Amino acid sequence: MNTNPAPNAAIGHNHVPKMTARNVNVFYGQKQAIKDVSIDVSPEHVTAFIGPSGCGKSTFLRCLNRMNDTVDGARVEGRIELDGQDIYAPVMDVVQLRARVGMVFQKPNPFPKSIYENVAYGPRIHGLARAKADMDNIVESALRRAGLWDEVKDRLGESGTAMSGGQQQRLCIARAIAVDPEVILMDEPCSALDPIATARIEELIDELRGRYAIVIVTHNMQQAARVSQRTAFFHLGTLVEYDETPAIFTNPQQTRTKDYITGRYG
Amino acid sequence: MATIAASAAAPLERQPTDWASPEMQGRIAARYRAERNFRRLGAGALMVAAGFLAFLLFTIVRDGWTGFLRTEARVEVMFDAATLGVDSAALRGPGAQAVLARADYVALMDKAALQLGPASDMLSDAAWLALRDRLVADPTLIGRTETLWVPVRSSIDLLAKGKYDLDAPADSRGVTDREVSDWRWLDSQGRLRTVFNQAFIGNADSTEPELAGIGGAALGSLFTLFVTIAIAFPLGVFSAAWLEEFAPRGRLADIIELSINNLAAVPSIIFGLLGLAFFLNYAGLPRSSPLVGGITLALMIMPVIVIAARVAIQAVPPSIRDAALGIGASPIQVVFQHVVPLALPGIMTGTIIGISRALGETAPLLLIGMRAFVTDTPQGLTAPATVLPMQVFLWSDDVQRGFVEKTSAAIMVLLFILILMNSVAIYLRNRFERRW
């Protein structure tokens, strides 16, 4: 059992949380990957999940839009709410949930289609655009918000897979933005990128903050310190500590957190 | 304890490696020798295989290329209304075509053949068809004389092509002295010519080699493959997509997978027996028809398509599925808007290879009656038909000398189509194959 006292799920009381998780356990077959995690996600902050490899931070992230449903033998217990609505309830439509809680993956994964089609695909399947002009608008504003418009406006017909890695990842962010989500989950979005592309993505995250609730998983502690306002430290499937980012990095309450951020293990 | 102490006291002195020593040089030489030998062995194996293939192709082409040619004799035909048995007045009426179609061309041909003197009976039994075609095309020829080229008997045809060894004794060369002398006479009169054999491409089977063609069998193959593709492709792709993307993992999925793999290895004649027992005897579908042949072949190649499609679907990276799911695509949308389109080149390649197999298949079709002797090009999916490899089989079985070249020529056509299809498969694979 966890010998440390359970961390606070909530920090402060000035916001209604966008998403809340209570006593979440995740099992892959017999193996328990997440143990009793409770956490609130703020609507206007960037929340970072940090921790050593295999600590369950990505697994937990994938619970927030039910991407774990596609994994054979995965089982989620506990309660996760989006705006007070249980996302694992039978009435919850998982397709709509994933439109409201978008996701950006570790490796840039644009569809092998044109840049335009990459962005337009989500709005199209959800019926968000009535006419071609509507769609053009949606595509342009999503690409603008992802900071990609000026680079690609003259070659929207070119393949999304022909761009550089950093551009591909921003295209994936534009694709997620295009369906007008409320929450964007980012699973180590910069781990496959070079430092310049990483800096560009971090700027972008900062620009998107406030408009969308953002949860980012990262193994890079400097990145968590740079982009997030809240940080949750996971270790061995448990949430060890959750606090304002400066507090985690300057004044951790738990010895495990302190050991991790000072490089004792990880 | 003692041994450890001893070894610690006197560590084995290791000599520096002498890379230039004779033993080392020997080892290096042996390694190069082994590599040289392996290369020679590989090249030799390839030469033997290429040699067999070249020999096969050479003999087929040598025997078969003359099958695309035929010998014709020149006759002057007087389109005489009386001999034809038509009333000149009726030809001006509205029923002129019907009158022409019923005219007695055989009598006209017999009369015209007399000018060939001793060789008058050496024209093909169906030579009169040339007269009919000419007259129907131009009815004003009635009462006029026209020079026509008509097909000759197979024996004269083969003599003209030099297929007989005329130095051999008369009883073993396969052709009578009379036929030889008739041919010599016709040739000396300048009445023979050799031209491209349109009948071979357009006609169906016949008892006379000079009239037999692959047209009927080719059309039968086309109809059969149409049915095969229409059934096997959607069935195979849907099965593969379900097995890969939706089937619950477990014992049942394992059993299905094992069954499909085994099904792909079942001898084709078993599928023929199934077709005979179920489609003909139980369901009562028409015997010898492309419909039944197509369904039977579809059953046979469906496992091949399923296996190819599963491999192609597996090769689509999970990140694409994640991407689509992540923006809220439903599982059906993920599969049919992303996974299957991306897997399609692989699926197409597997399908074409399956179709090639179906095109070359004979055994199952024997059992459902497609070895019937069909002298007409098939009119539809339920009409009796035969297929190209079956035509090869039927002709190779025929005792008449004239069918030897027809058999090889038909094999050439079949091989050409197969090579064409496989080339398309390779082209598709190279053109659309994606590396992730």
Tens of pLDDT along chain B (436 residues) come to 444 544 555 677 888 888 888 999 999 999 999 999 999 999 999 999 999 999 999 999 998 999 999 999 999 888 888 888 877 777 776 777 777 878 888 888 888 888 887 888 888 888 888 888 888 888 888 888 888 899 999 888 998 888 888 888 877 788 888 888 888 888 888 889 999 988 898 888 888 888 889 999 999 999 999 999 999 999 999 999 999 988 888 888 889 989 999 998 999 999 999 999 999 999 989 988 999 999 999 999 999 999 999 999 999 999 999 999 999 899 999 999 999 999 998 899 899 989 999 999 999 999 988 888 888 888 888 888 999 999 999 999 888 888 999 999 999 999 999 999 989 888 888 887 766 5
> Which 3-state string (H, E, C) describes A5-64?
CCCCCCCCCCCCCCEEEEEEEEEECCEEEEEEEEEEECCCCEEEEECCCCCCHHHHHHHC
Q: Distance (Å, rounded) from C-alpha B245 to C-alpha B419?
A: 34
- Which residue in the set B323, B327, B338 is minimally distant from A99, CB to CB? B327
Pairing of strands B69-78, B145-151: antiparallel
**What is the end-to-end Cα distance of chain B in Å, rounded?**
59
Q: How many Cα atoms occupy the beta-carbon half-sphere of B264 within 13 Å?
A: 17
Contacts of B323 in chain A (CB under 8 A): 105, 109-111, 172, 175
Shortest Cα–Cα distance, B249 to chain A (Å)? 8
- In the predicted structure, residue A110 carries a pLDDT above the cut 90: yes
Write the DSSP string, B30-78.
HHHHHHHHHHHHHHHHHHHHHHHHHHHHHHHHHHHGGGGEEEEEEEEEE
CB contact set of A226 (below 8 Å; sequence gap of 6+) = A202
Task: Please give the residue of chain A at the shortest CA–CA distance from B329.
Answer: A95
Q: Which residues in chain A have their CB less than 8 angstroms from residue B330's CB? A: 95, 125
Exposed/middle/buried for residue B10 (C-beta within 10 Å: 0-12, 13-18, 19+): exposed
Indicate whether this complex's ipTM tops 0.85.
yes
Buried b / exposed e along B85-116 (16+ C-beta atoms within 10 A): ebeeeebeeeeeeebbeebebeebbbebbeeb
Q: Compute the distance between CA of residue B256 and CA of residue A171 in angstroms, rounded to an integer.
A: 40
Instruction: Say which of A67, A95, A178 has its CB closest to residue B330.
Output: A95
What pTM did the predictor assign?
A: 0.82
Cα A208 to its chain centre, rounded Å, is 12
As given in the structure block, the two tokens for residue A4 are 């440390």
List the structure tokens of B14: 């290791």
Q: Cα distance from B346 to chain A (closest Cα, Å)?
A: 16
Interface residue A65 vs chain B (CB under 8 A): yes
Which of B327, B337, B338 is the best mutation test for A, with the most CBs of A within 10 A? B327
Q: What type of residue is B358?
A: A
Contacts of A110 in chain B (CB under 8 A): 323
**What's the rounded Cα separation, in Å, for the pair A206 and A195?**
16
Q: CA torsion B106→B110→B113→B114, rounded to 10°?
A: -170
pLDDT confidence of residue B436: 55
Whether B328 sits inside 8 A of A179 (CB atoms) is: yes
Per-residue pLDDT, B10: 64
Q: Is the dihedral of CA B265, B266, B272, B275 positive or negative?
A: negative
Taking an 8 Å cut-off on Cβ atoms, the answer to whether A176 and B322 are in contact is: no
For A38-47, how does the pLDDT look when each residue is reduced to its tens digit (9 = 90+)? 999 999 899 9
Rounded to whole angstroms, the Cα distance separating B67 from B63 reads: 8
Tens digits of residue pLDDT in B106-155: 888 888 888 887 888 888 888 888 888 888 888 888 888 888 899 999 88
Mean pLDDT of all residues in A131-137: 92
**Identity of the residue in B249, B322, B330 whose CB atom sits nearest the CB atom of A109:** B322
A96 touches chain B (CB under 8 A): yes
Nearest to A110 by CA among A167, A61, A58, A64: A167
A62 contacts chain B (CB < 8 A): no
* Contact call for A111 and B434, based on CB within 8 A: no
| Gap from B321 CA to chain A (nearest CA, Å) | 10
pLDDT tens for residues A148-207? 999 999 999 999 988 999 999 999 999 999 999 999 999 999 988 889 989 999 999 999
Contact residues, A window 8-47, toward B, CB-based 8 Å cutoff:
none
CB contact under 8 A, A121 and B327: yes
Q: What does the pLDDT read at residue B86?
A: 79
Question: Is the CB of residue B342 less than 8 Å away from at least one CB of chain A?
Answer: yes
Is A176 within 8 Å of chain B by CB? yes
Distance from CA of B310 to the nearest CA of A (A): 18
Q: Is B327 on the interface with A (CB under 8 A)?
A: yes
- Cβ contact A109–B323 (<8 Å): yes
**C-alpha gyration radius of chain B:** 33
Can you tell me the mean pLDDT for A16-28? 92
How many other CB atoms are there within 10 angstroms of residue B254's CB atom?
Answer: 10
In a 10 Å sphere around its CB, with 0-12 CB exposed, 13-18 middle and 19+ buried, how is residue B425 labelled?
buried
3-state DSSP of B344-375: HHHHHHHHHHHHHHHHCCCHHHHHCCCCCCCC
Reading the block at residue B384, the tokens are: 């009796």
CA–CA separation, B387 and B225 (whole Å)? 10
Question: Is B434 at the interface with chain A, CB within 8 A?
Answer: yes
Chain A's closest residue to B245, CA to CA, is: A70
- To test the contact with chain B by mutation, choose from A103, A139, A159, A183 the residue with the greatest count of B C-beta atoms within 10 A, namely A103
Q: Which helix (H) or strand (E) holds B145?
A: strand B145-151
